[in-house]
Structure 1
Amino acid sequence: MIGILTFIFLIFFVFFVRWFAKWCTEFVPDGPAKRYSFWGVIAACMFILLGDEVVGGIQFGYLCYLSPRLEVLTDELEGRRIRSTSSITEVKLSPVKIKEELVVMKDVDTGQPIFKYSYYRFYGGWLAHWTNFNGFKGPYFYSNTCNQGSGSKLLIINNNIVVEE
């Protein structure tokens, strides 16, 4: 069903872009200039519609792939009581909106950081979610988040750490 809807959506965009290109080149005199202008408008529209999605999606994929994993900041973990703190920043110089959230788990009694991890949240369109980025098939490429701190739950369970809200 999604394939059929995507196909219909793409056909609509092809006809819309073609109509828009004809409308933009309506007053250009017939000849090679009109033909080049027509194809130039089509190329510009396709880049605007698809280029930012692909570039932003690839950037998101590499941020997820290269971001730091779970970092343990202390040697003694057994039986601690921890509370999480987080900060959210927006990734600059990206054609799509990407936010990074850094989560730091601190000891309730001492305030010392115990471990930290980060994850990214992606606010893009449909194309960037469906693109396979250079052969990486991780599940975070097909949703709007990627979490590199997945080992934190296992770390908490194995070391009898109590998480306070």
Structure 2
Amino acid sequence: MMFRSLAFAALLALTALSASADSLQPRDGWVVMETNKGFDQLITDLKAATKAQGMAVVTQAGPTAAAARRGITIPGNRVIGVFNNDFAVRILATSTSAMIEAPIRFYVTENPDGQATLSYKIPSHVFAPYMGEGGSELVKLAEELSQVFDAIARQASR
């Protein structure tokens, strides 16, 4: 009886681990782009595309390197915040509250096959809760940012 309980607990633990390691799935307000690039190459290309579109990488965070220093191997995982001062100033003119969303983030994840996925929340979706406050000018800025993020993602994923 105890053996069956332990076996069942082990099976549940394995199921939970495999479920947490699933690749990203499309969801409302997100773009999820499978690429045929490796994790490090996609990050390099994302940074180059960001600069080419007049934006800047302002934050980066990821658990992969810190986990490795602890002796734990996990797939590559990096969140890269992108913005620029021009958009910051223009958004602040419409809504102080909306700036909590800056920088908007790209998410690079390594897949089991070694290729990487590029994901991000569409800026017009990110800023939607502030449209009543920011008005038509914030709508225009969010759409402009959506076009910039689309261009960055397309360039980085080629």
TM class by shorter chain equals: 0.3 to 0.5
- The answer to which structure, 1 or 2, has the higher relative contact order (CA under 8 A, 6+ apart) is 2
More helix by share: 2
TM-score, scaled to structure 1: 0.33
Larger radius of gyration: 1
